[in-house]
Structure 1
Amino acid sequence: MDDTQILVAGEALIDLFPATSGPIADAETLTRRAGGAPANVAVALARLGHPPLLWARLGDDPFGDHLADVLADNGVHETLLERDPERKTAHTLVGEDEDGDQSFTFFADETATFAMQPETVSSETLERVEWVHVGGVTLHTEPSRSATLELMERADEHGCTVSFDPNTRADLWPEESVLVETLERALGLADVVKTDQDDLSVLVEATDEEELAEALLERGPHTVMLTRGSEGAMARASEEAPWGPATTEFGGYEVDVVETTGAGDAFLAGSIAGFLSECSSLAETVRYASAVGGLATTATGAMDGLPSADDVAEIIADNA
């Protein structure tokens, strides 16, 4: 396979984790980890043997240096990795809320991370790649919103398969109406969407996964993949999908969970790999992606637990 068959676009940032569990406010020591949903997807793809191009923008600062090193060490192509001498790299505090659920506090305003500009990716690049993946966090502000949507439009015009992870962070958006309008536009440009039951509640009032999947398919994508955390995932595809119309679900794999940041990104990377070469049906793709996502939870941080293709093959074989 051409090792630049995939282009991933979006934020690469630093996740800061407390050394002990509990609220961030009580933490005395923080641990640095490379993160950002699209960056997680890119590294996961590289570890699976599908090293992509990553279009991301980093500050010319120590956090940016660390991210560039991590991406290079994992085999992610750096051709489209930009450095911004005037802005800093975004970072996120990852902790627990009062209910024990994972919480994220973004430090993103006026950062290099979200200063991506339209028309950065050349037509030659889009002619070369087969798949373009974008994340939803870059849509929350300008100029990265216009840059992301413009890339999706041009990728569609060049015949690329476009995948989209809304990753809705409503607290980042200036107005709910802007969020809804932007999500509708992005969904209309996507072929494959990965989300969950709650992520798009601002847009779709659905009583169950089947209703949500149908509502999203009606907006343009041919495949919708819904993750369920530790309970696996389901997917629904229309007749325009590569393997035709189908609905499938899988309960997941038993793993020793350490920390769940990036599990959905790993699942998405597994889905892309499955569509491109690893699998021969939607059901097989969901099983493969679930293995990637499950194994990603076996270490702290979004990237540390990302598996190799051999790791994925082993867990699938052990559960055959």
Structure 2
Amino acid sequence: MSYDVLVAGETLIDFLPARPGPLSDVEGFERRPGGAPANVAVALSRLEAPPLFWTRVGDDPFGRFLEDTLLAEGIPGRYLERDPAAKTTLAFVTHDEGGDRTFSFYRDDTADTRLEAGTIGDDALESVSWVHAGGVSLAGGSSQEATLDLLERAAERDCTVSFDPNARPELWPDAGTFREVCRAALERVDVCKATVGELEALGFDGATPEALARDALEASGPHTVLVTRGREGAVAVAGDGSPWPGVADHGGYEVDVVDTTGAGDAFVAGSIAALREGRGLEDALSFASGVAATATTDAGAMAALPTRAAVDAFLADRR
């Protein structure tokens, strides 16, 4: 089987709380597979576009569980690495009553921080047309250099390169370092998906999501910026150098939200799938928003990711 997309980054264990509330008050958790790039990879597979996925987990029970999960989701094992000297990252999730979440990471020199530059050969990059990575891999260890190297080499080979800063302040020593490193990544990127808060943290300015996106286009590398706004939908701005120039705005879909964990990753996968299929910016935004909305109607980041059939049915009901 041939693969046209390569996703790179962390796979980890999310511990989901038994009930909403602060971490100090939660007594029980449920183990779920997670990690933003892992969610994107699995979401693409469920959308009938399985990618190559470069990740690294510990050679421990959690790591073996994650590897088995990815393989069962149709992700090829070619770049699923086990680290014999490091543990798998753990993240404890807390929810408020509206389903919004915060994370507490256990990620000190864990396996996903130890990706090594050059692991993905030129032959692999020449066989794909799209490469995607996220900001957590930039937050420490050799994975920072490895991710920047991958993005740069992918850009040199005319791959479409996408990036999600996925800001997790607790993983960065300070806001300035986050801004500096992620801005360096954006210089190698064609498509950036971010929230309003993430674009502001990256130093971009604008009174509206569209204005923020335009400032990011003018000040950094991407030719397309997708801005997610939670329940209010998303906006996309693509410059003249984009294959799909223009502006699109989608107001989102009304759903009964159970858990927003992974919704942004679902949106990323939906946008990659749609744009690769040749859809226009407005259609791609509608489809990606549908994938994200469907993903919020069940618990867990990866477990709630919808199939192509589920998304098509969801959108059909709203036409």
**Band of TM-score, shorter chain:** over 0.9
Residue 148 (structure 2) aligns with: 149
Q: In terms of mean alpha carbon deviation, does 51-60 or 21-30 score higher?
A: 21-30
Task: Find the aligned partners of 2:286 and 2:205 in 1 and give their Cα distance.
Answer: 28
Residue 65 (structure 2) aligns with: 66
Residue 184 (structure 1) aligns with: 183
CA-CA distance at 1:150 after TM superposition: 0.3
Contact 1:3 1:50 in 2 (8 A): no
Task: Find the aligned partners of 1:239 and 1:216 in 2 and give their Cα distance.
Answer: 14
Task: Find the aligned partners of 1:300 and 1:116 in 2 and give their Cα distance.
Answer: 29
Task: Find the aligned partners of 2:139 and 2:266 in 1 and give their Cα distance.
Answer: 22
CA-CA distance at 1:171 after TM superposition: 2.4
Q: 1:207 to 1:15 in 2, by over 3 A?
A: same
Task: Find the aligned partners of 1:201 and 1:10 in 2 and give their Cα distance.
Answer: 23
CA-CA distance at 1:316 after TM superposition: 1.6
Contact 1:249 1:283 in 2 (8 A): yes
Q: Deviations over 1:263-297 (max 9, x none)?
A: 000000000000111x5210000000011001111
TM-score between the two structures when normalised by the length of structure 1: 0.95
CA-CA distance at 1:98 after TM superposition: 10
Letter of the 1:270 partner, please give it: G
Contact 1:134 1:163 in 2 (8 A): yes
Letter of the 2:36 partner, please give it: A
Letter of the 1:248 partner, please give it: A
Residue 115 (structure 1) aligns with: 114
Contact 1:8 1:42 in 2 (8 A): yes
Q: 1:97 to 1:309 in 2, by over 3 A?
A: closer
Q: Percent identity over the alignment?
A: 50
Q: In terms of mean alpha carbon deviation, does 137-146 or 265-274 score higher?
A: 137-146
Contact 1:263 1:296 in 2 (8 A): yes
Task: Find the aligned partners of 1:280 and 1:46 in 2 and give their Cα distance.
Answer: 19
Map residues 79-94 of structure 1 onto 2, 5 A cutoff.
79-94=78-93
Letter of the 1:148 partner, please give it: T
Residue 50 (structure 1) aligns with: 49
Partner secondary structure for residue 319 of structure 1: coil
Residue 32 (structure 2) aligns with: 33
Task: Find the aligned partners of 1:304 and 1:50 in 2 and give their Cα distance.
Answer: 17
Partner secondary structure for residue 291 of structure 1: helix
CA-CA distance at 1:236 after TM superposition: 0.5
CA-CA distance at 1:99 after TM superposition: 9.7
Partner secondary structure for residue 198 of structure 1: helix
Residue 165 (structure 1) aligns with: 164
Task: Find the aligned partners of 1:11 and 1:17 in 2 and give their Cα distance.
Answer: 18
Map residues 275-290 of structure 1 onto 2, 5 A cutoff.
275-277=275-277, 279-290=278-289
TM-score between the two structures when normalised by the length of structure 2: 0.96
2:239 counterpart of 1:248:
no
Task: Find the aligned partners of 1:210 and 1:263 in 2 and give their Cα distance.
Answer: 21
CA-CA distance at 1:299 after TM superposition: 1.0
Map residues 6-17 of structure 1 onto 2, 5 A cutoff.
6-17=5-16
Q: Deviations over 1:185-210 (max 9, x none)?
A: 11111100000110132222332212
Task: Find the aligned partners of 1:303 and 1:65 in 2 and give their Cα distance.
Answer: 16
Letter of the 2:307 partner, please give it: S
Residue 233 (structure 2) aligns with: 232
Residue 300 (structure 1) aligns with: 299
List, as ranges, runs of 4+ consecutive aligned residues in structure 1 with deviation greater than 4 Å. Answer: 97-101
Contact 2:217 2:224 in 1 (8 A): yes
Partner secondary structure for residue 305 of structure 1: coil
Contact 1:234 1:249 in 2 (8 A): yes
CA-CA distance at 1:175 after TM superposition: 3.6
Letter of the 2:129 partner, please give it: E
Contact 1:94 1:104 in 2 (8 A): yes
Q: How many correspondences in the alignment?
A: 317
Letter of the 1:18 partner, please give it: P
User: Please, which runs of 5 or more residues in structure 2 have no aligned partner?
Assistant: none
